[in-house]
Structure 1
Amino acid sequence: MGSRAHYVVKADGSWKRRYTHWGAHSMELDLLAGPNAATRFAQGQQSCDRWLDELECEAAALIDHDERRLLWHSHCYEDVAYRAAVLAVMAPTWPGWRIEWAYGGLYDILDALGEPLHGRFRDRSSFQDDLRAPVRRTAGPSERDDELRGLRRLVEKFDAHQEVDEATQSISLLLHVVGALTSTAHQAGLETQVTSDNAFAHRPMDLTDEEKVAVHAAFEAVRNKHSGS
């Protein structure tokens, strides 16, 4: 079980690979606030010594500070309106960056890094051609309704996600305390056995109040654009 994802942060010609066991289904929410917040989040994930196979890797992101490029993919491609809202909000929250969808999944990121392809599938992802095809819509109220529906869903998910992060702060503190007590017990020659649920341990408290305000300002700007106001 899990929701596995890779983050890669590249800067000054070198890169580091990270792994999160539960973060794939919320990747767009962790990227939304811009490069500084996304980089902090990525650097807080686990270091790992291998790439996931494509079947294991449900989302991936390359945050390339050298080229000011974000290359990523996640489950949000399944809802066209929602994905469009994510990309529209990223435009102001990632100013000066190229936001690019990894149509080939993890392998686009491997290719960007010059890494050899591996795993069960060495070709592009099955959804690549569908996503590359231009989306043709009839302009009018129905299109605006779809866009606003996607945006409303994004706002709801983002706010709920931040509430989870607030819970994470307490859980992370508890895990730090448990770790310190366990270390002290071991040094004293005592045996310990700790059972805990680490479902939230991978999620740092990451966004500042200013970053949350900036995201909501981007929401409002996109809403006004779609509403014609």
Structure 2
Amino acid sequence: MDRTNFMEVLEVLERDKNIYNILKNCPYEILRSIWLKKYPEGRFNLKQGEIYNIFYILVEGYVDIFVESDQGKKYYISTYGKGRFIGELEMFEQNPYMSRIESRGPVTMLEIGRDNYLKWLERDQNFSQYILRTLCKGTYSSMQKMGINTLYSLKTRICQFLIENANDKGILRMPLSAELLIGRMAVTPRSVNRVLKELKDKGILEISRANVVIKDYQQLLKEKDEN
């Protein structure tokens, strides 16, 4: 492995507590096989239905997860940030990806080949348990979202999405535009815009073409529960 890149991997471990906790017990020979790679905006894309033999750990930036229909329509599943894994399920049997992954802006990844990923799982109990907890958390979250999408109104779903992506002060953790929000709800733009206008008219949101800002977080919580 290139020594310069290996030193960059070590620098990531030293400055980022979350990444350190994932790799802290990684065997040295496997650690040396991990590659740090930076992708410019729009360059990190993994296609649904394709097989990839690389396991990814997101170090910087965000990626959006979609399921794509045969007609090319994308249905939003989730957004991953720092410390999230990509490919942990598909690696075992070399299965095709169940979803499409697209970066939002530039991203930085730690990458490891399938053989070393499987060795790492076998030798490092800390890592294998981290993967197990992540899978359980992801499954739980997916079941919750399925229930919300089936049982609740679009307004509740939009309020819930905004709440999930904000801190306890009501500040969104990532840039969000009305256009991106429309893509995540998998319904017509008119339906989403109608809800956004209602929330804006009530002073709960401030909306521009490029940005959505939560102005009244407490009222947003009430709106979700009133539906």
Structure 1 and Structure 2 fold alike (TM over 0.5) = no
More helix by share: 1
Q: More relative contact order in 1 or in 2 (CA 8 Å, sep 6+)?
A: 1
TM-score by length of 1: 0.29
